[in-house]
Structure 1
Amino acid sequence: MWDLESLVAWKGPQLVRLARTLLRDEHQAEDVVQDVLATCLAKWSRIQALDNPSAYLNRMVVNAVTTSRRRPWRREHASDPADLPDQGISDTAGPHAERQRCLALLRRLPDKQRIAIVLRLYEGMPDAEIADLMDCSTATVRSNAHRGLATLRRLLAEEGIARA
């Protein structure tokens, strides 16, 4: 059996990474994870009794991200540095800047497509587990991932970013 403190120590950074990838604002992602962990604390006796509390925490984060994006006061977000005009400063970051541009494009996808791609490619989850988290069928997960990747390829071509 897990105690909450050890589960958060082990799973916390992964939850924050997941939320940051799904949301446009890294601070909002940290707030979402904090809210999830506060809820988890209140319901710990029930969560602890589950077969896989780690998967339940993942689902709580995905649901919290989806809910937070529906709230009108949460729709305002800071400008992404990749969206700002180039001031002629030389880019010494290289791969980091490329990654940031790709993440900015990823964040332009619809929620379900972005969630399916992030969970599949960034978190390495199988389609069945993603389907459980998204509360849909595995075919829907594959469809969302396929459409999301197609949209990303189009956006990458428009942005002139070379595919790896």
Structure 2
Amino acid sequence: MTFEEYVLARGPGLLRLARLLVDDVHRADDLVQDTLVRVYPRWARIVRTDQPDLYVRRILVNVNASWWRRRSSREMPAVLDADAWPGADDHGPPTADRLALWERVRALPHRQRAVIALRYYEDLDDDRISQILGCSRATVRTHAMRALAAMRVDLRDLEELHR
């Protein structure tokens, strides 16, 4: 598989994962571009491993983490575009629930957010997630457990406010 074929086939999936990891649509585009720039020179070696998705996702997650570590990356956009939100064009009650849930995901720490995105949006198992994040399966399960617990607490607080 050539690099171009890979990008055509997996580019939309990488962009979706990047949008789940960062709050800004434009920053997600930049994240995917940065990842592909790092991957391209090593593509011949990567494709020989028979697991290019694993390697590219790992680079994507690591590039995102290193972006957050830089001091200058702390600026936040004043207004998010409507297309930054999943299902933003739908205005029914299910959308309100999705937006509330999405707010909870956005509030999670970096590693917990990555685990939730890889597990529930990318539908990966703990083994694959641990390979992508470079940690043990137990760490993946711990991050998932803590993330879900934090989101449950936040949602309970939100329900109490609406009563």
TM-score range, shorter-chain basis?
Answer: 0.7 to 0.9
Cα gap change, 1:59 to 1:118, in 2 (>3 Å): same
Is the CA contact (8 Å cut-off) linking 2:35 and 2:60 kept in structure 1?
A: yes
- TM superposition outliers: structure 1 runs of 4+ over 4 Å: none
Q: Percent identity?
A: 39
More helix, by proportion: 2
TM-score (norm 1): 0.85
Alpha-carbon distance, 1:79 to partner: 4.2
Say whether residues 1:134 and 2:125 are aligned partners.
no
Alignment-derived partner of residue 19 in structure 1: 18
Is the CA contact (8 Å cut-off) linking 1:66 and 1:111 kept in structure 2?
A: yes
Q: Distance in 2 between matches of 1:7 and 1:34?
A: 14
Deviation string 1:32-69 (CA, Å, 9 cap, x unpaired) is 10011111122222222222112111111111111111
Say whether residues 1:93 and 2:83 are aligned partners.
no
For these two proteins, the number of residue pairs brought into alignment is: 151
Alignment-derived partner of residue 156 in structure 2: 157
Q: Distance in 1 between matches of 2:118 and 2:144?
A: 10
The AA in structure 2 aligned to 1:93 is H
Alignment-derived partner of residue 59 in structure 1: 58
The AA in structure 2 aligned to 1:98 is D
Alignment-derived partner of residue 84 in structure 1: none
Alignment-derived partner of residue 39 in structure 1: 38
Q: Distance in 2 between matches of 1:28 and 1:122?
A: 19
Structure 1: stretches of 5+ with no match in the other structure: 82-91
TM-score (norm 2): 0.85
Is the CA contact (8 Å cut-off) linking 2:15 and 2:28 kept in structure 1?
A: yes
Structure 2: stretches of 5+ with no match in the other structure: 81-89
Alpha-carbon distance, 1:97 to partner: 3.9
Alignment-derived partner of residue 84 in structure 2: none
